[in-house]
Amino acid sequence: MPELPEVETVRRGLTPAMEGVVIGRAEVNRPDLRWPFPPAMAARLTGQTVLRLRRRSKYILADLGSGETLLIHLGMSGRMLVSGDPLGQFVHDHPAAEKHDHVVLHMANGARITFNDPRRFGAMDLMETATADQHKLLSVLGPEPLGNDFHENHLIQAFEGKNTPVKSALLDQRIVAGLGNIYVCEALFRAKIAPTRKAGRIAKARVATLVPIIRSVLKEAIEAGGSSLRDFRQADGELGYFQHSFDVYGREAELCKTPDCGAQIARIVQSGRSSFYCKSCQS
């Protein structure tokens, strides 16, 4: 499932084609994805100006002139693809429609935004913009890791007394929103903290170091266009390439990249998810 950097990469790719632009026509080709689409979704989107595109955790939010917000979740295999030439720089024909093009937004500037999702684990919903933060999917989320509310004191307090592994704690969306398996593994490696360590038993000073490290890992991944594992594509259809910079994720039995370490990267399963780490460097 795409994590924060992948979703942010898609949002940035969509912005030039959508922000400040009218949805000339919305086309909804099935009644549902992960759950049913809201009633009359196509009619409610058609003719509306996209005032702002923003991201909350792993969700893209499009604020509309109608006072509603379109919530988009990519799921396991969902892709938001831009075709056409909204900036007038090139000549791009729209590709032929595909079987899994479930929602298509024909923008007034000539761009076409296609939500393609073969496995149909993605989702879309419409909600009132003024109360969007009360939506059932958003109301339970913790602070954004790149925002001001995510700081050392917050993480120290969130970890205090926790008997769960630090890996599980960082995946808890109530503690920090948007972090997923890949970037937690990478951040813990940089912090030299084993994923099996109990969150409440890590010294406060070490917990504090996680905040800038998490920010750094996410920013690097965003600049690299995210990590392309299986289905992820950027909004222009290109692959992200941060996976080429992984220190531990997916590198089971390969040598640790730390100079003079010599240990192999280990893989264990925690709560049904693979954790990758160096037993020598991380404690």
Positions annotated as catalytic residues are: 2-3, 58, 273
Are 112 and 97 a contacting pair, CB within 8 Å? no
Q: Which residues pair with 255 in a beta bridge?
A: 264
β pairing state of 59-64 and 123-128: unpaired
Enter the DSSP assignment of 239. P
**In the chain, which residue ranges form alpha helices assigned H by DSSP?**
4-18, 41-45, 152-159, 166-171, 181-191, 204-223
Q: DSSP for 71-96, please give it.
A: EEE-TTT-EEEEES-TTSSS--PPPP
Sheet holding 23-28, edge to edge: 23-28, 101-107, 112-116, 79-83
In 3-state terms, what secondary structure has residue 216? helix
Residue given tokens 């509310």 in the structure block: 149
Q: Is the dihedral of CA 187, 191, 195, 198 positive or negative?
A: negative
207: left (phi over 0), alpha (psi -120 to 50) or beta: alpha
The residue type at 48: Q
Comparing CA positions, the residue from 96, 101, 99 lying closest to residue 26 is 101
